[in-house]
Amino acid sequence: MMATRLIVIRHGETAWNAETRLQGHTDIALNAQGLWQAGQVANALRDEAVQAIYASDLQRAWQTAQAIADTTQAPLHAHQGLRERGFGSFEGKTYAELDTLWPEDALLWRKREPDWAPPGGESLRVMRERIASTATALAQQHLGGQIVLVAHGGVLDQLYRLATGQELQAPRSWHLGNAAINRLLWTPEGFTLVGWGDTSHLEAEVLDEGSA
């Protein structure tokens, strides 16, 4: 069968997520909430038939992927091609700080100009090519099977756009939740969307509080 099923996961929450700081390639670990989310998504995928797990080598993604590997017993591999967009000098800054420090650049970032890049960072167009080639190469290695990709919000955004034909500058109307379960199908014709934004496994926290 010339197709590969992909389960695509954004890493669990970090302190910088909570503070709306751009992380990019800065290596931030999961916070307590993120570790809980990693455990929940791992448990949700426990019974999935997974041939391999590929994760960004940044620790927030790697920690999330390790939890999934522990439950599924699938082999885990690091891949730099799954890293978040490089934000250069923008990294570590909050959205509000960017508007104050570099208003013109911040506007270009918010407008999603395809060929603009933060100083020392990566453009959306370059990132899209990186994500498309990485995900395609990994899918081609597992034809007829299913793999898990654990990455970052920007990576998932690119995969959603590739699967739905959305342009780089199209306004985002889809959710990129931490530790949500997203499903794609790869064939030689490209990516298609199967399911997106499943967070039912993350509702246990609310249920547990209500039953206490």
Topology, domain 4-85+123-211: Rossmann fold (3.40.50)
Q: How much is the pLDDT for 205?
A: 57
Provide CB contacts within 8 A for 198, sequence distance 6+: 180, 181, 182
The residue from 11, 25, 79, 152 that is catalytic is 11
Give yes or no: 84 in active site: yes
Helices (H), 87-203: 95-101, 103-110, 124-140, 153-164
Residue written as tokens 């104050």? Answer: 100
Radius of gyration of the chain (CA): 17
The residue from 13, 25, 79, 84 that is catalytic is 84
More confident residue, 87 or 206: 87
Helix (H) or strand (E) holding 34: helix 32-44
Average pLDDT rounded to a whole number, residues 61-84: 98
Average pLDDT rounded to a whole number, residues 39-62: 98
Q: In b/e form, how buried is each residue of 187-204, taking b as 16+ CB within 10 angstroms?
A: eeeebebeebeebebbee
pLDDT digits (tens, 9 = 90+) for 88-118: 999 999 999 999 999 999 999 999 999 999 9
Residue written as tokens 């290596």? Answer: 27
pLDDT digits (tens, 9 = 90+) for 1-37: 699 999 999 999 999 999 999 999 999 999 999 999 9
pLDDT digits (tens, 9 = 90+) for 156-175: 999 999 999 999 999 999 99
Would you say the pTM of this structure is higher than 0.85? Answer: yes
Q: CA-CA distance, 3 to 130, in Å (whole number)?
A: 21
Q: Which candidate, 40, 166, 137, 18, places its Cα nearest to that of 79? A: 137
Average pLDDT rounded to a whole number, residues 62-81: 98
Every domain of the chain and the residues it spans: 4-85+123-211
Q: CA-CA distance, 43 to 191, in Å (whole number)?
A: 26
More confident residue, 208 or 115: 115
Show the tokens assigned to 206.
Answer: 């609310």
